[in-house]
Amino acid sequence: MRSSISIMRRRTALLLSAVSATPLLSVRAFAQAGAAPTAPSTADGGIVDEDTDTPYVPTPIDVVERMLHLAGVGSSDYLIDIGSGDGRIVLTAVTKFGARGHGIEIDPRLIERSRQSAAKLGIADRAQFLAQDLFESDFSRASVISVYLLPKVMQLLTPRLAALRPGTRIVSHDYAMLADWQPDMTLRMYVPDKPVGRDRHSTLMLWTVPASVAGRWQFDLPRAQGGGRVEVAVTQARQILSGKATIDGRPLDLLGLRIDGERLRFALEPAGRAERFRHEFDGIVKGEGASGTATFHARGAAVPAKWEARLAR
């Protein structure tokens, strides 16, 4: 990993450490990590960038696979690996998880190596590698993005990643986003062949881009389920939600309010629980609307129904 940002526009490689690469504290001090079965040999100990004298060191394959598992990569996904190195993240996502995708890499030698590996594996139509600057790359096609970037670069990228399509998953090795966007899941794993760090552990983090749901959600509750005009006022800080609810101006208890990508969920109960019922709502957010199912619990029965709400910002 490159340790300076001052010349990042001169060479993106100065900033990138791929998910396929490991950051170095001393560029001369560490040996190559184990090579993935699906990736080409790196017996030369890495690729040295002539401009920075910084070696590229592959991430151990067990970290690669755990990242892909954490992100829930599957056959319907398109993965973009930022700083793809020898291509092992994309190659593994395609061969072992059935996905499609491409890697972004600044070093033409690593691009060529990755393309040769994809051709040998017979997956060149599903695993591609592009020579690009990450700050000029289009990430909009991705359903999953994998990253291993210096902290300052992660901070610079946070606004771009947060603006991606709701539901896009972002999995990072060791480094987090800006402090106001905490990961949805964090996993710490022992990596005996990790070439940096004294305790030989890696921290993997997962974020899911949340839909924008701040504002006042309004819908009508059927007469049989209490009747009235419901308003749920939501405040949002990334994926963290809080709010208040009323029915015809009377307060309701708002429980379990959460957003997971495009999926909005919450439950309503009478304030103070004077009446014994509970209404649960589960919908998909699309622009200014949400639709899905509502389940009305009362007198020991659960009654499902369709549910739609509109958002007034």
Q: Which fold has domain 12-208?
A: Rossmann fold (3.40.50)
C-alpha distances out from residue 189 to 65, 67, 80, 248, 310, Å: 12, 11, 23, 51, 43
- Taking only the tens of pLDDT, the chain with its 313 residues reads 433 333 343 333 333 333 344 333 222 222 222 333 333 333 333 443 444 333 465 778 999 999 999 999 999 999 999 989 899 999 999 999 999 999 999 899 999 999 999 999 999 999 999 999 888 999 999 999 999 888 888 999 999 999 999 999 999 999 999 999 999 999 999 999 887 667 889 999 999 999 999 999 999 988 767 779 999 999 999 999 999 999 999 999 999 999 999 999 999 998 765 566 789 999 999 999 999 999 998 777 888 999 999 998 7
User: What integer pLDDT is reported at residue 123 of this predicted model?
Assistant: 98
Q: Which CATH superfamily is domain 215-312 in?
A: Avidin-like (2.40.128.30)
Nearest to 171 by CA among 19, 51, 12, 308: 19
pLDDT of amino acid 309: 97
Domain with CATH 2.40.128.30 in the chain: 215-312
What pLDDT score does 56 carry?
Answer: 63
Backbone angles phi, psi at 75, to 5 degrees: -65, -20
pTM assigned to the model: 0.81
Positions of CATH 3.40.50.150 in the chain: 12-208
Question: What pLDDT does residue 10 have?
Answer: 36
